[in-house]
């Protein structure tokens, strides 16, 4: 079936009270429209059309992709008018799915159900039973239960407002009918707009079947018109992610105090404590332990590794049985071999750290390599930047770097070599040698302050 998807994303979102277009407000670190596009792509349509208006260039710039056809709605005259802007690009479509850019929790399985039920001849509606349908259009049925129309809240009678079956706005339109229906819409209503929902009455009048699919939960089809609703969507999304992780074998000390803002791959018997944020692409192998208040972004954590409290790991790869933190910062390009240890108040960047190597305290190691079983003492700094260029430091296997050593790159400390505490090392230290570079101490007797 030749499937096209139209996503409506032109609304201003005045109740957000923001200069940011509504569909760009994030849920789990990604614009709401980005979530909707992910769902649309899972349907593998022939074409995705996104109707934009308010902040059009900003929306297009942030979510630019080759598979999107951008359609501009210069005047916002209703949902029917918005879909009509895409009509010139819908030639040949056998089915058109209409989605909304501020409904980020919609699942592809629900959309498939709607598409399959409607096929290419029927009008398909996605509805949901709501505890409080205020603000939503109501599904009006006849005595036999057949859908007759959708009545918007502002146009509904007192009796119709008691109906709890709400219209989500998401629908499947037969390609053979869409042009005729959209050009037949009227703006004679309380809002003075062209409602897409009026196609239901047209379908009934013309004898076109109306099929109904049901969203699995109310939260799946919730939109966000203000900051309160945005926060509700965020918590709903996070609850769903927490449930997925626990089902996969992850222990969450408090599911309500985990934030997932990306794609997470997990093994079994992982433990995650409170106030942990997982961003981007994060891979956690079996037996990983993450203590409270950690941020992990775009990283791979190996089997049995422990991330202690208040650590920040960004763009790093950690092998098995490592220990990081507390209060450690691993920046992009950091790679730890098995059983390496990064201690408290240590920062690393673009560094390869060998098996069993230790950087335990108060150090900065960047643009460097550290050999197996090396011990880098407290206060060690790799001086990698001269104000113009970056240079590399090499620390050999089983080397011992004394506390408060400054390694002025480019420089190499050999295997089994040692640097004396407080040294400024700006020349290579050979294998098994001691490097000492500090002023001789003088004691002045009888000194008075």
Marked catalytic residue, from 54, 131, 361, 394: 361
Q: Is 131 a catalytic residue?
A: no
Spatial separation of the C-alpha atoms in residues 256 and 265, rounded to whole Å: 19
**Residue of 221, 200, 212 lying closest to 130 (CA atoms):** 221
Angle of helix 32-42 relative to helix 108-118, nearest 10 degrees, comes to 50
Degrees, nearest 5: CA angle 405-321-374: 25
Close Cβ partners of 395 (under 8 Å, ≥ 6 residues apart): 368, 369, 370, 371, 374, 376, 401, 407, 412, 413
Q: For residues 143 and 211, what is the distance between their CA atoms, to the nearest angstrom?
A: 16
DSSP secondary structure code for residue 88 in this structure: G
Strand ranges (E), 310-392: 312-314, 317-318, 323-324, 329-330, 335-336, 341-344, 347-353, 358-361, 364-370, 375-376, 381-383
Q: What is the Cα–Cα distance from 225 to 12, expressed in whole angstroms?
A: 10
DSSP structure string for 119-151: TTTSEEEEEEE-S--TTSPEEEE-TTS-EEEEE
Q: What sign does the CA torsion over 231, 233, 236, 240 have?
A: negative
Q: How far apart are CA 172 and CA 107, in angstroms?
A: 15
Query: Can you say how many angstroms the Cα of residue 49 is from the centroid of all Cα atoms in its chain?
Result: 22
Q: What's the CA gap between 107 and 94, in Å, rounded?
A: 22
For residues 180 and 193, give the distance between their C-alpha atoms in angstroms, rounded to a whole number: 18
Alpha-carbon dihedral 288, 309, 339, 242, rounded to 10 degrees: 10
The span from the first CA to the last CA of the chain, in angstroms, equals: 91
Reading the block at residue 319, the tokens are 């092998």
Q: Which residues are catalytic?
A: 361
């Amino acid at each position: 079936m030749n499937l096209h998807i139209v996503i409506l994303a032109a609304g201003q979102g005045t109740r957000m009270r923001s200069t940011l277009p509504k569909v760009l407000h994030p849920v789990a670190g990604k614009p709401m429209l980005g979530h909707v596009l992910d769902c649309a792509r899972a349907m593998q349509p022939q074409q995705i059309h996104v109707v934009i208006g308010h902040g059009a260039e900003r929306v297009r710039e942030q979510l630019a992709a080759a598979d999107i056809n951008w359609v501009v709605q210069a005047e916002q005259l209703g949902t029917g008018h918005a879909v009509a802007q895409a009509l010139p690009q819908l030639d040949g479509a056998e089915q058109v799915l209409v989605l909304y850019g501020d409904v980020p929790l919609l699942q592809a399985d629900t959309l498939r159900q709607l598409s399959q039920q409607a096929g290419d001849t029927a009008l398909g509606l996605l509805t949901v039973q709501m505890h409080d349908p205020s603000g939503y259009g109501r599904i009006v049925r006849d005595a036999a239960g057949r859908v007759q129309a959708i009545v918007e809240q502002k146009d509904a009678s007192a009796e119709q407002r008691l109906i709890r079956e709400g219209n989500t706005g998401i629908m499947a339109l037969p390609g053979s009918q869409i042009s005729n229906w959209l050009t037949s819409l009227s703006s004679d209503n309380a809002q003075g707009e062209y409602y897409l929902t009026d196609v239901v009455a047209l379908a009934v009048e013309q004898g076109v079947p109306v099929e109904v699919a049901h969203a699995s939960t109310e939260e799946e089809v919730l939109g966000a018109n203000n900051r309160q609703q945005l926060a509700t969507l965020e918590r709903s999304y996070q609850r769903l992610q927490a449930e997925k992780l626990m089902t996969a074998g992850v222990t969450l000390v408090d599911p309500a105090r985990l934030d997932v803002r990306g794609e997470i791959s997990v093994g079994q018997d992982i433990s995650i404590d409170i106030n942990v944020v997982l961003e981007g692409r994060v891979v956690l192998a079996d037996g990983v332990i993450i203590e409270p208040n950690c941020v992990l972004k775009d990283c791979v954590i190996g089997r049995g590794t422990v991330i202690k409290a208040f650590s920040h790991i960004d763009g790093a790869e950690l092998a098995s049985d490592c220990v990081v933190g507390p209060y450690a910062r691993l920046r992009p390009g950091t790679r730890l071999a098995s059983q390496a240890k990064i201690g408290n108040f240590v920062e690393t960047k673009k560094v390869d750290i060998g098996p069993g190597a230790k950087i335990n305290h108060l150090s900065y190691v960047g643009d460097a390599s550290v050999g197996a079983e090396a011990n880098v003492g407290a206060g060690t700094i790799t001086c990698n930047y001269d104000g113009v260029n970056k240079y590399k430091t090499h620390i050999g296997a089983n080397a011992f770097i004394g506390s408060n050593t400054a390694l002025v790159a480019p420089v190499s400390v050999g295997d089994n070599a040692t640097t004396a505490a407080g040294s400024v090392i700006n020349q290579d230290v050979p294998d098994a040698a001691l490097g000492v570079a500090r002023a001789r101490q003088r004691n002045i007797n009888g000194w008075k302050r």
